Amino acid sequence: GAVVSQHPSWVICKSGTSVKIECRSLDFQATTMFWYRQFPKQSLMLMATSNEGSKATYEQGVEKDKFLINHASLTLSTLTVTSAHPEDSSFYICSARDSTGSQPQHFGDGTRLSIL
Amino acid sequence: AQSVSQHNHHVILSEAASLELGCNYSYGGTVNLFWYVQYPGQHLQLLLKYFSGDPLVKGIKGFEAEFIKSKFSFNLRKPSVQWSDTAEYFCAVTPFTGGGNKLTFGTGTQLKVEL
């Protein structure tokens, strides 16, 4: 079945650094990928929609300069949390849309980001 | 914009008990509905989906859900749960047309099945 790989699975870094998270569709091409953020005991909140070859579409309240998204190929999207602070600590999940399949999105395993 | 409400945040059942998890959505148009499951330490997996047709849909691992349009509900059911069903369950909705396949999730229900 369709597989989405997310890397790294866990990252701990100091406040002020930038962190890049990768999301890859391993066996299908994904023209659209999605980035979610999940707080403890809460639902997944869509942050942005990433479209291959064009600018990402951000949801209301999400700072595009803080969360940089790049979708340079049909199998890779990256999320960079710039100048991360402790309040950015969260669980980030990506998903990829397989336009040929019947499921709307396939999900990665998520990245646990901890900012000290 | 659409929204999804899951009424039960934590459910504890004994093995072989029946399960029903509530899900209600709010949206002015036609929707596609989904239930996802997240086992401990794993990614979200699709349990079942409703696009159109028979409102009673069957998914993997013996789960089923019934779409009741008049109640804006899509409750998940399983006649007899197993210990391995311990997981978090998310209901989700996306507009039938447009919306770019953006999923809106409920807050999730943590299910614990005891032996």
Q: Model confidence over B15-66: pLDDT tens digits?
A: 999 999 999 999 888 889 999 999 988 888 999 999 889 999 999 999 999 9
Distance of residue A92 Cα from the nearest chain B Cα, in angstroms: 11
Report CB contact under 8 Å: B101, A32: yes
Averaged over A90-109, what is the pLDDT?
83
Distances from the Cα of B110 to the Cαs of A75, B13, B40, in angstroms? 32, 11, 10
Is the predicted pLDDT of residue B99 greater than 60, yes or no? no
Share of chain A above pLDDT 70, in %: 95
Does B99 reach chain A within 8 Å, measured CB to CB? no
Q: What is the pLDDT of residue A105?
A: 84
Rounded to an integer, what distance in angstroms lies between the CA atom of residue A104 and that of residue B109?
Answer: 21
A-chain CB neighbours of B103 within 8 Å are: 34, 44, 46, 95, 104-105
B-chain CB neighbours of A42 within 8 Å are: 107-108
Does B13 reach chain A within 8 Å, measured CB to CB? no
Report CB contact under 8 Å: A46, B104: yes
Contact B90, A46 (CB under 8 A): no
Task: Give the pair of three-digit tokens for residue A30.
Answer: 């994904």
Is the predicted pLDDT of residue B82 greater than 80, yes or no? yes
Nearest CA in chain A to B5: A43
Q: What is the pLDDT of residue A35?
A: 96
Q: What is the pLDDT of residue A103?
A: 65
Report CB contact under 8 Å: A42, B107: yes
Does B97 reach chain A within 8 Å, measured CB to CB? no
Q: What is the pLDDT of residue A16?
A: 95
Does A16 reach chain B within 8 Å, measured CB to CB? no
Question: Which residues lie across from B93 on neighbouring strands?
Answer: B33, B104
Q: What is the pLDDT of residue A13?
A: 93
**Position A42 confidence tier, pLDDT thresholds 50, 70, 90:** confident
Q: What is the pLDDT of residue A104?
A: 72
**Position A45 confidence tier, pLDDT thresholds 50, 70, 90:** very high
